[in-house]
């Protein structure tokens, strides 16, 4: 019931617009069913499902606006929500930066929905959890993990005739395996649109291998090393990461206002400048078959293929409609996916071709130290290894690092074959002079 069809969503939108008296009204409807199973210590700890349907109404009288979100969608509730949003809007101060809402737009056909994910049952989740838990029990290691699937839709519309509808599914499995003595830990992640692609056993096998291999870690002195950052070390897993800190800084207004690395002294920004290694190319593409994304931004702007960095040259920044209008440039919305273009080398090949290099599985608890240099601090986690002459020689104790994604991207030596993580496509990367600042006793 929470997963409305395009026609059902249109009906609610029509109700909202029929009640609206403001100069402009925009509407967003989100519905979803999300299910999960969580396990630790080789047993299921919590598991549940949640369904919800929310309606957000934003109204404008001239440049005054107010917004109300509700999740009780009967006619009376919708009517009073419209009225409430309008009252707030009437009384709000003017926002001189408001631009008229967008009119009708053309959106590409989306491919970010899978019937197989939409049809998930509790038994399906239990089977995937079981395929992770049972091998851990047999191997006498501590298996933990989390599987979450979401089936949802978003419909956006406004009083100028814009309409967009997108149905989406996603599923992600993460697993962390620890040795029984607590000295080793390994991690693996798989993200898909289609639930049938999840291979719980394969993910668990990888995490288990890493856990066992990392159990007898040797302490290396902090300092600068050549490292291979696996995709989860570059892009994180739902947490702050080198990549998220980098992408978050691509805001044109912050750059033009002089409060970003991408701004220039005295004004302007660095678009067009060669800032990074030739090996760095980052783009977004909602139509990419491996990471299909929503074809529109929340404010109705179409999502297109956009090059952010090409062969080390900054090509584009993210603009609000207001700032783009003021600067006379195209208003590029924040992207729905990030694709770090890579080569053809697998992680194994990259290891084979490395010497005196540290392999990092995953990063953790990254926090900014300097918004201008994008310096961040964080820690390694769930498997750090020393590579000598093309082979993993031994595990290494965890480090804290103080490092900037700008340096990582300047010092790239190899970019491997990208894999999907979250809704992004991220390769393992090899980079030199990576700064480990201290040791951590954590496993």
Partner 1 sequence: MKRADFLRMTSMGVGALMMPDLLWGNAVDPAQFLEQAPDKATKKALADAALAAARAKGATYADVRISRYLQQNIATREAKVQSIANNASYGVGIRVIAAGSWGFAATNNVTKEGIAQCAAQAVAIAKANASLRTEPVYLVPQKGLGEKEWKTPIEKNPFEVPVADKVALLMEVNNAAMKEGASFITSNLSFVNEQKYYASTDGTYVAQDIHRLNPVFSVTVVDRQTGKFKTRDSLSAPMGRGWEYLEGTASEKLQGPAGLTLYRNKYDMVEDAVQATRHAKEKHKAKSVAPGKYDLVLDPTHLGLTIHESIGHPLELDRVLGYEANYAGTSFATLDKWKSGNFKFGSDVVNVVADRTQPYLLNTIGFDDDGVPAKEWDLIRKGILVNYQATRDQVHLLGQKESHGCSHADSWGSVQFQRMPNVSLRPSKEKLSPAEMIRNVEKGIYILGRGSYSIDQQRYNFQFGGQLFFEIINGEIKGMLEDVAYQSNTQEFWNACVQTCDAGDYRSFGTFNDGKGQPGQASAVSHGCATTRFNGVNVINTQASA
Print the binding letters for residues 141-160 with partner 1: x by CB under 8 A, - otherwise: -x-xxx-x------------
Q: Which of 71, 196, 216, 356 binds partner 1 (CB under 8 A)?
A: 71
- CA dist 24 and 230 (Å) reads 47
Q: Which of 5, 11, 14, 77 binds partner 1 (CB under 8 A)?
A: 77
Q: Which of 18, 21, 43, 62 binds partner 1 (CB under 8 A)?
A: 43
With beta carbons less than 8 A apart as the criterion, state whether 158 and 27 touch. Answer: yes
Q: Which of 12, 157, 166, 178 binds partner 1 (CB under 8 A)?
A: 178
Tokens of 102: 């967008």
CB 283 → partner 1: shortest distance, Å?
A: 28
Contacts of 244 (CB under 8 A, 6+ apart): 235, 236
- CA dist 258 and 127 (Å) reads 53
Stretch that binds partner 1, among 34-42, 109-117, 289-297, 415-423 (CB under 8 A): 34-42
Is residue 3 a contact residue for partner 1 (CB under 8 A)? no
Nearer to partner 1, 285 or 403 (CB): 403
- CA dist 5 and 167 (Å) reads 9
Is residue 83 a contact residue for partner 1 (CB under 8 A)? yes
Q: Total number of residues binding partner 1 (CB under 8 A)?
A: 104
Contacts of 257 (CB under 8 A, 6+ apart): 263
Is residue 285 a contact residue for partner 1 (CB under 8 A)? no
Stretch that binds partner 1, among 101-109, 190-198, 309-317, 398-406 (CB under 8 A): 398-406
Kindly provide the residue ranges of all beta strands, DSSP E only, lying in 119-276, ordered along the sequence.
Answer: 141-158, 163-179, 185-192, 223-229
Residue identified by tokens 């994604």 is 405
Q: Which of 96, 221, 272, 389 binds partner 1 (CB under 8 A)?
A: 96
Is residue 262 a contact residue for partner 1 (CB under 8 A)? no
Tokens of 185: 């830990």
Stretch that binds partner 1, among 101-109, 293-301, 340-348, 377-385 (CB under 8 A): 377-385
Burial of 275 (0-12, 13-18, 19+ CB in 10 A): middle
Nearer to partner 1, 59 or 354 (CB): 59
Stretch that binds partner 1, among 70-78, 295-303, 342-350, 351-359 (CB under 8 A): 70-78
Nearer to partner 1, 5 or 372 (CB): 372
Q: Which of 407, 423, 424, 431 binds partner 1 (CB under 8 A)?
A: 407
Is residue 268 a contact residue for partner 1 (CB under 8 A)? no
Q: What three-state secondary structure class fits 294?
A: coil
Q: List the one residue out of 438, 434, 442 whose CA is nearest residue 228.
A: 434
Residue ranges of alpha helices (H) inside 224-284 are 231-235, 242-248, 252-256
Q: Which of 114, 175, 193, 200 binds partner 1 (CB under 8 A)?
A: 175
CB 265 → partner 1: shortest distance, Å?
A: 4
Is residue 21 a contact residue for partner 1 (CB under 8 A)? no
Q: Which of 7, 76, 138, 140 binds partner 1 (CB under 8 A)?
A: 76
Is residue 47 a contact residue for partner 1 (CB under 8 A)? yes
Query: What is the footprint of partner 1 within residues 182-201 (CB under 8 A)?
Result: 182, 185
Q: How many residues are recorded in the chain?
A: 443
Q: List the one residue out of 254, 328, 322 whose CA is nearest residue 264.
A: 254
Q: Which residues of 423-440 are buried (b: 16+ CB within 10 A; e: fewer)?
A: bbbbbbbbbeebbbeeee
Is residue 34 a contact residue for partner 1 (CB under 8 A)? yes
Tokens of 106: 């053309």
Query: What is the footprint of partner 1 within residues 211-240 (CB under 8 A)?
Result: 238
- CA dist 195 and 213 (Å) reads 30
Q: List the one residue out of 246, 169, 249, 227 whose CA is nearest residue 380.
A: 227
Stretch that binds partner 1, among 151-159, 169-177, 295-303, 332-340 (CB under 8 A): 169-177
CB 14 → partner 1: shortest distance, Å?
A: 19
CB 287 → partner 1: shortest distance, Å?
A: 28
Radius of gyration, CA atoms only, the chain: 24
Q: What phi and psi values does residue 331 have, to the nearest 5 degrees?
A: -85, 95
Is residue 169 a contact residue for partner 1 (CB under 8 A)? no
Query: What is the footprint of partner 1 within residues 101-140 (CB under 8 A)?
Result: 121-123, 125-126, 129-130, 133
Is residue 325 a contact residue for partner 1 (CB under 8 A)? no
Tokens of 326: 């003021």
């Amino acid at each position: 019931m929470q997963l409305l069809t395009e026609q059902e969503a249109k009906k609610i939108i029509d109700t909202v617009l029929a009640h609206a008296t403001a100069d402009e009204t925009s509407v967003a409807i989100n519905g979803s069913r999300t299910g999960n199973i969580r396990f630790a210590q080789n047993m299921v700890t919590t598991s549940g499902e949640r369904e919800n349907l929310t309606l957000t109404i934003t109204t404008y009288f001239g440049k005054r606006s107010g917004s109300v979100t509700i999740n009780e969608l009967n006619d009376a509730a919708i009517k009073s929500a419209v009225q409430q949003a309008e009252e707030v809007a009437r009384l709000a101060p003017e926002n001189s930066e408001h631009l008229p809402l967008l009119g009708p737009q053309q959106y590409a056909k989306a491919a970010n929905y899978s019937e197989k994910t939409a049809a998930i049952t509790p038994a399906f989740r239990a089977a995937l959890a079981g395929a992770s838990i049972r091998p851990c029990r047999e191997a006498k290691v501590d298996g933990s993990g989390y599987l979450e699937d979401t089936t949802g839709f978003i419909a956006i519309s406004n009083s100028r005739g814009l309409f967009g509808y997108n149905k989406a599914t996603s599923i992600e499995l993460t697993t962390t395996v620890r040795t029984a003595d607590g000295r080793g830990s390994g991690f693996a992640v798989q993200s898909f649109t289609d639930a049938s692609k999840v291979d719980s056993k394969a993910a668990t096998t990888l995490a288990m291998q890493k856990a066992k291999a990392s159990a007898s870690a040797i302490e290396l002195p902090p300092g600068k090393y050549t490292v291979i950052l696996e995709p989860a070390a570059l892009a994180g897993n739902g947490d702050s990461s080198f990549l998220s800190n980098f992408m978050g800084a691509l805001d044109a207004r912050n750059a033009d206002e002089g409060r970003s690395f991408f701004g220039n002294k005295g004004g302007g920004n660095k678009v067009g400048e060669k800032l990074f290694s030739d090996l760095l190319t980052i783009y977004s593409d909602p139509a990419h078959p491996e990471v299909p994304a929503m074809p529109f931004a929340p404010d109705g702007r179409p999502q297109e293929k956009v090059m952010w960095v090409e062969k080390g040259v900054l090509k584009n920044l993210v603009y609000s409609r207001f700032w783009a209008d003021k600067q006379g440039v195209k208003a590029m919305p924040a992207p729905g996916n990030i694709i770090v273009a890579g080569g053809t080398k697998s992680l194994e090949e990259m290891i084979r071709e490395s010497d005196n290099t540290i392999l990092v599985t995953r990063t953790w608890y990254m926090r900014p130290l300097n918004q201008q240099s994008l310096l961040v601090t964080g820690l390694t986690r769930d498997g750090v290894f020393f590579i000598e002459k093309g082979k993993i020689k031994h595990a290494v104790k965890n480090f804290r690092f103080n490092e900037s994604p700008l340096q990582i991207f300047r010092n790239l030596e190899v970019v491997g074959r990208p894999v999907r993580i979250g809704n992004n496509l991220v390769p393992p990367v090899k980079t030199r002079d990576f700064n480990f600042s201290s040791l951590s006793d954590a496993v």
